Amino acid sequence: MILFFFCGMLFAGSIAIHGLMDGYNPILKTSNKRYDAQIVKRSNAYSIYRFGPYFTSSSTRTADSNGNKYPNDYVRVMQTKTGTYAKLRYFNQNIGWMNVKGLKPVSFSQIAAATMKQYDVSGSAILASAGSKHTVTVNNGFANAAKKTANSSDGTVLYPLASLQKAMTGAIIQQLISSGNLSAGTKLSRYYPQVKGSSNITIQQMLSMSSGLDNNDTTPAKVMTENQAYTSMLKRLESTGKMTYDYSDVNYVLLAGIIAKATKQSYVSNLKTRIINKLGMKNTKVVDSNNIDTSSIALSYSRKATTDYTSPQSVSLPRLSAIPGAGNMLTTPSDYYKFILGLQNGSVLTAKQYQQLLSYGTVYSGGMYVTQNGVKYNNGSFGGQGYHSGYFATTGNYHMAIVFENQDPLGLTPKDFVKKMYQVATYY
């Protein structure tokens, strides 16, 4: 028995020495607490390993052997073993294990702000990482570079909402459908018989951009009234008879006109009563007159090589006024988020009504693109300017990004940057 015990001690000692030589670390404890971190040290001592605490030898290092593949990048710690090694996820990919001494804990807000800086985006954004109780608002750059006015979502700076307004128009139409005032099959000819082929065009087709209607853009000499805008659109539209998806503002401008005719109140009145005032969107303005304080509107900028804030331009209020229902509003990401929540919580639509609004087309429906299961998104811009508005979210807004830009990002399209911020909200 003594000899057996002595031999056992030798055998155990051999394992310990062998394990030490191979970089084996016994697992003393495991923690499933997750947190966000930044990779801050890049040396052999803080390499990323395939198997973490099990084998931390040179043979088990990943392709990122010295941390050079993720310099200063942000990661999500998914698990910690032995209190020393953390399992890392970079966006949606597990990349291996790293000594926690090579990591610095950071906040979700820091990651969102750093992403805007990384892509040199000028604008304001609100992100939800896990529903409405976990949101952050981040800003970067200037709304007015000459005056050093910083971008903001607190109402001191307003941004053109552009095509994201179409979801508001679609929501009011859905309210009227749900109340029986309209139906998805209501013909355009009931309200605008002068439009060629209107007896074959339904509200559903207009909601889904498959009406065959198209239009040319215009910038009038001065701000139009709502009725003047409808008259202008009727003169500018073209009815092609092609009932396939074709994105065009005319659909939602005429839907705004239908709202006014069906309710016997202006579209703007409906917008304020049913959405803006009801949701407390105090920093939202409708462009239907000249009484807008233009000093609060972010300027549009371009980037020339590495120089920011070139070619400053003001948004054209007459241009916006020509498209009621499709882009004649100014607002902030925070205000628009109130509307996004109201679309499903019963304030504007019930969850069931919202799903119906999204069921009218397979590409686009009710102001949203519906091509990805479980995800809804939309983008808005004005050709020739650096303004861009974007919304990208899971259907229930558990993960969500609303981004308003007044200068395009570096290395990504404006649309792709909105999606990048959505990925930040999803994985961090």
The residues facing 130 across adjacent strands are none
From the list 427, 415, 423, 336, the residue with the least C-alpha distance to 121 is 415
Q: Percent of the chain at pLDDT above 90?
A: 82
Residue 147 has pLDDT above 80, yes or no: yes
Overall pTM > 0.85? yes
Amino acid 66: pLDDT:
52
Residue positions counted in the chain = 428
CA distance 37 to 20: 29
Amino acid 292: pLDDT:
86
CB 299 within 8 A of CB 313: yes
- Mean pLDDT, residues 379-401 taken together: 96
Does domain 23-106 correspond to CATH entry 2.30.30.170? yes
Amino acid 405: pLDDT:
98
More confident residue, 112 or 17: 112
Q: Can you say how many angstroms the Cα of residue 228 is from the centroid of all Cα atoms in its chain?
A: 33
CA distance 158 to 144: 11
CB 253 within 8 A of CB 190: no
Domain with CATH 2.30.30.170 in the chain: 23-106
Pick among 3.40.710.10, 3.40.50.2000, 3.30.360.10, 1.10.3720.10: CATH of 113-427: 3.40.710.10
CA 110, 112, 116, 119 torsion-angle sign: positive
Residue 71 has pLDDT above 90, yes or no: no
Domain with CATH 3.40.710.10 in the chain: 113-427
The residue type of 297 is I
Residue 3 has pLDDT above 80, yes or no: no
CA distance 134 to 212: 42
Amino acid 11: pLDDT:
31
Residue 9 has pLDDT above 50, yes or no: no
Q: 12-49 b/e with 16+ CB inside 10 Å = b?
A: eeeeeeeeeeebbbeeeeeeeeebbbbbeebeeebbbb
